[in-house]
Amino acid sequence: MKLALRIVIFVFVILPHVSSFGGARHFGFIYEAPTSAPGSFELENWVTWARTTDPERSDEVSFRHEIEIGVTDRLQASIYLADWFYENSPGHSGSTYSDSALELIYNLTNPVIDPIGLSLYQEYKVGDRLFEWESKLIAQKNFGPLILAYNATLEAVWEGQGLTEREGEFQQALGASYEISPRISVGLEFLHEFLFPDWDDAERIRNVFIGPNVSYRHNSWFVTVTALAQPTNTPDEPEFQLRTIFGFGF
């Protein structure tokens, strides 16, 4: 039996009887400290549209298909089955497979009863002439219906022939989400990126993104949308990004 057929049978026949919802996201670009319940299973689809206008106009729509699994009370694992993107620029137009990845999140403390909720995040991404390593500290505090979240992310990328091209990034992200009702939340997200081409800070590239988010959840599914604009006008970086995450549990 082909592997693809086995996966389809597993996802649509077996999992509905053994699993449940993994949880809803309040943010599009920021991770939250709570991890999924043990035994939960969720499929998330991400769509991110990014428009760059400097030095020339181009559009990229990237897709992520992710399976999220609650392993224990504190450990959550995710598999990015495929990250791929469609690009439309003056020099190129078409779809490209980018990578697949494994993501692990370990929860340390709770954002409601502890002074601050903390989780550790580790991601390994492998693609065509690409290896990426990403670590993240996730902090969160819940004040009643208000969620404040902070992520500090360190990312290292090796790519190209022989993986000789190197790039690093440090990112800080801060977000707030206010629950208007148990189903609807609205908020703000703020990203501050430090890019290190060839692991060097000679170019001193800094990006800032800021914008609103909205999240809606109902029964076993949720959708979260975040729109970010870049006020820093860094060349070759998106001027605008719109991310939608649609997740559902079985």
According to CB under 8 A, which one of 97, 124, 143, 199 is a site residue for other proteins? 143
* Of the residues 31, 36, 139, 237, which one makes contact with other proteins according to CB under 8 A: 36
Q: Which two structure tokens, joined as six digits, stand for 31? A: 């991770």
For residues 153 and 215, which CB has a smaller minimum distance to other proteins in the complex? Answer: 215
Burial class (CB in 10 A: 0-12, 13-18, 19+), 56: exposed
Of positions 144, 162, 164, 202, contacts other proteins by CB under 8 A: 144
Is 30 an interacting residue with respect to other proteins (CB under 8 A)? no
Measured distance CA(20)–CA(143) in Å, rounded: 27
User: Which residue, among 162, 215, 192, has the nearest Cα to 32 in the 3D structure?
Assistant: 215
Tell me how many residues contact other proteins (CB under 8 A).
Answer: 35
Residue placing its CB nearer to other proteins in the complex, 115 or 235: 115
Measure Cα distances from 83 to 41, 65, 67, 80, 120 in Å.
19, 7, 12, 7, 22
Q: Which of 64, 61, 63 is nearest to 88 (CA)?
A: 61
CA angle (222 as vertex; 220, 226 as ends), nearest 5? 170
In the complex with other proteins, which residue's Cβ is closer, 33 or 191? 33
Using CB under 8 A as the binding rule, whether residue 21 contacts other proteins is answered as yes
Question: Closest separation between CB of residue 109 and other proteins, Å?
Answer: 11
Q: What string marks each residue from 188 to 227 as x (binds other proteins by CB under 8 A) or -?
A: -----------------------------x-xx-x-----
Please select the residue that binds other proteins; options are 39, 135, 152, 198, rule is CB under 8 A: 39
Write the single-letter amino acid at 230.
Q
Q: Does 28 bind other proteins (CB under 8 A)?
A: no
- Dist. CA 16–CA 10, nearest whole Å: 9
Residues that bind other proteins (CB under 8 A): 20-24, 34-40, 70, 73, 110-113, 142-148, 176, 178-179, 182-183, 217, 219-220, 222, 249
